[in-house]
Chains A and B, each alone.
Chain A
Amino acid sequence: KAGVTQTPRYLIKTRGQQVTLSCSPISGHRSVSWYQQTPGQGLQFLFEYFSETQRNKGNFPGRFSGRQFSNSRSEMNVSTLELGDSALYLCASSGSGVEYYGYTFGSGTRLTVV
């Protein structure tokens, strides 16, 4: 079955702009989580959506937001981009039995802010 799909794979934006990243989870998975990976901070949790509702949120400023649609696809938005937002943004989806099968990650979107 198809994995987690993230688009676009690469993105270059200018400081002050905003960006929207997209994630299509594995069919049947209702939970979608977003993570930011940077060399200095490792993998940091952004937020999790389950059945269109934000169920959990990490310690990121309000410039980072997300949403989930009825088909479980999710988007995250970053407004007023800063240089420090340059990172690999990863989306993960999960279904039942996540404690045994883990979360499935997409390949990520590499965002570069210049």
Chain B
Amino acid sequence: DQQVKQNSPSLSVQEGRISILNCDYTNSMFDYFLWYKKYPAEGPTFLISISSIKDKNEDGRFTVFLNKSAKHLSLHIVPSQPGDSAVYFCAASGTGTASKLTFGTGTRLQVTL
């Protein structure tokens, strides 16, 4: 049962344009959502998170949007840079004893010149 889904395995965007990565979830008990960036042979690096009580969180070039009614979140990267090329994972978590991260399967972003 895949509770967190990233339906696009890959995405290619030109440098300077907007990258939009999408994520859907099924468990309405998730309390917060996170986005991670991962390079090969390295651990995921935390990018940005959003609480279930908010619908938007922004940090520099990264903005995460949450639509609870649709159980959907998205990560916007503006402007996209070549260094953004990596695999992006969305993850969801509860709190306390339910604090494990449930990851999506990842989206490989390629930012082209």
Instruction: Give chain A's interface residues, CB within 8 Å of chain B.
Output: 4, 31, 33, 35, 42-45, 48, 55-56, 58, 88, 90, 92, 94, 98-108, 110
List B80-113 residues whose CB lies under 8 Å from chain A: 89, 91, 93, 95, 97-106
State whether B100 touches A108 (Cβ < 8 A): no
State whether B43 touches A31 (Cβ < 8 A): no
Can you give 9 A-B contacts (C-beta < 8 A)? A4-B43, A43-B44, A44-B103, A45-B101, A45-B102, A90-B43, A99-B93, A100-B49, A105-B45
A56 and B97 in contact, given A42-B103, A42-B105, A102-B36 (Cβ under 8 angstroms): yes
CA distance A17 to B102 in the complex (A): 29
CA distance A107 to B49 in the complex (A): 21
How many residues of B sit at the interface, in one of the four size bands? 20 to 34
State whether A90 touches B44 (Cβ < 8 A): yes
Chain B min CB distance to A74 (Å):
15
For B63, the chain A residues whose CB sits under 8 A away are none
How many A-B pairs have beta carbons closer than 8 Å: the answer is 68
**Residue B62 lies at the interface, judged by CB distance under 8 Å to chain A:** no
Instruction: Give chain B's interface residues, CB within 8 Å of chain A.
Output: 31-32, 34, 36, 41-47, 49, 51, 89, 91, 93, 95, 97-106
State whether A102 touches B34 (Cβ < 8 A): yes
Chain B minimum-CB-distance residue to A104: B46
State whether B98 touches A99 (Cβ < 8 A): no
Inter-chain pairs besides A42-B106, A45-B102, A105-B46, 12 sampled, C-beta below 8 Å: A42-B104, A43-B89, A43-B91, A44-B103, A48-B100, A56-B99, A58-B100, A92-B101, A99-B93, A102-B34, A102-B47, A105-B45
CA distance A44 to B3 in the complex (A): 12
State whether B41 touches A110 (Cβ < 8 A): yes
